[in-house]
Chains A and B, each alone.
Chain A
Amino acid sequence: MADLTATSPFAGARLPQRFAGCTLEALPPAQITAVAPYPGQLAALRQTLGAFPGPGAVIAAAGGRLVWAGRGLALAFDADMPQGSAEHAALSDQSDGWAGVSLRGTAAPMVLARLLPLDLRRLPPGSSARSLLGHLPALILRPEALAFELWIWRSMVGSAMHDLTGAMQAVGARQALAEPPTG
C-alpha cells in the first residue's frame, strides 16, 4: 500500500498573519463527523447523544463539540460518537474536507464585516452560523466576543487566506490613517 504523506491544508499559507492588531492562525486539525438525523429520528438521536444542536447552537456532547451546520445537519468536532448513533443519523467522516482558522483581536469584527454578509450582532459569543466568507461557503463560530473560528472547505483555503489577509491589511491601513501623525 502506498505510504501517503499528510500535508497541512495551510502548507504555503504563511500563517500566522498579524495586521490591524488581529491574529490569523491555523486551528489544529479536528476529527469532524457530519451528523444528519434520519427523518423522524431526531428525538432518538438526542437521547443517544445527550443533545443535538438547534440553529446557531454549539453544545458540548459526546466528549466533543456539536455545532449546528445547516438544516438537519450538525458537525461533531472531536467527539466520540456513541454506539447506536448510526442507527438514527447518517454519519460521515469529513475531517479532511474542512480547514479551520482562528481570527482574534479587537478589530476582528471589522475585518469580518468586509467579508461576511452577516450581521455579527446576531452572532453572540458561543454561537455558530452558516454564511459566506467572501464568496466561499463557511461555518462561522464565535467562541468569544473578539475570537472567531472560520471553517471552510479545504480546497478553498488559498482563496480564503487571500481574502482574509487582504481584509486585515485594509483595516490596518484604515487604522493607520485615522491615527494622528506623531513627531
Chain B
Amino acid sequence: MHLPCPCCGPRDLREFTHKGADDYLRRPAPDAPPEAWDDYLHTRANPAGRTRDLWYHDPCGTWIAVTRDTVTHAVIGATGLEDAQ
C-alpha cells in the first residue's frame, strides 16, 4: 500500500505510523458532557468502505488524513493536517 504524503509524494506503508479514525480531530470542549468524551475516546464506526483516518509520515514528520476504502483497499487521497487548518 502506498499513501500520498503532501510533502514527499507517494510512499510505502512502512514509512507511516497509523493513529486511528479522524474522530480524533473532533475533540469535545473541556466542559462537554461525559457522553461526548466517551464517544470521542471509544466509539468508532469501523466502516466497511470509505473511511478517513490519521497517519504520521515518520521520515518527514507530516500528519495526514487519508481517505481510503477498507473494502477495495483503494487509497483515494490525503491532506496534510497543518495545511487543512
Contact = CB atoms under 8 A, between A and B. Distances in A.
B15 A70 contact: no
Interface string B6-42: 0111111011000000000000000000000000000
A71 interface: yes
A72 B62 CA distance: 10
Interface stretch (A12-20, A92-100, A125-133, A165-173): A125-133
Contacts of B14: 117, 132
A1 B45 CA distance: 62
B84 interface: no
Interface in B42-85: 58-62, 82
B60 A118 contact: no
A71 B7 CA distance: 7
A122 B9 contact: yes
B58 to A, nearest CB: 7
Contact of B59 (A72, A119, A122, A137): A137
Interface string A55-69: 110000000000000
A118 B2 CA distance: 10
Interface in A105-126: 117-119, 122
Can you list the 7 inter-chain pairs with the closest CB atoms, starting with the nearest? Answer: A130-B59, A117-B12, A71-B61, A70-B60, A117-B14, A55-B7, A71-B62
Given A131-B15, A132-B14, 5 more contacts: A71-B61, A72-B61, A117-B15, A130-B60, A132-B59
Interface of B: 7-12, 14-15, 58-62, 82
Interface of A: 55-56, 70-73, 117-119, 122, 129-132, 137
22 contacts: A55-B7, A55-B8, A56-B8, A70-B60, A71-B60, A71-B61, A73-B61, A117-B11, A117-B14, A117-B15, A118-B12, A129-B8, A129-B59, A130-B8, A130-B60, A131-B15, A131-B59, A132-B14, A132-B15, A132-B59, A137-B58, A137-B59
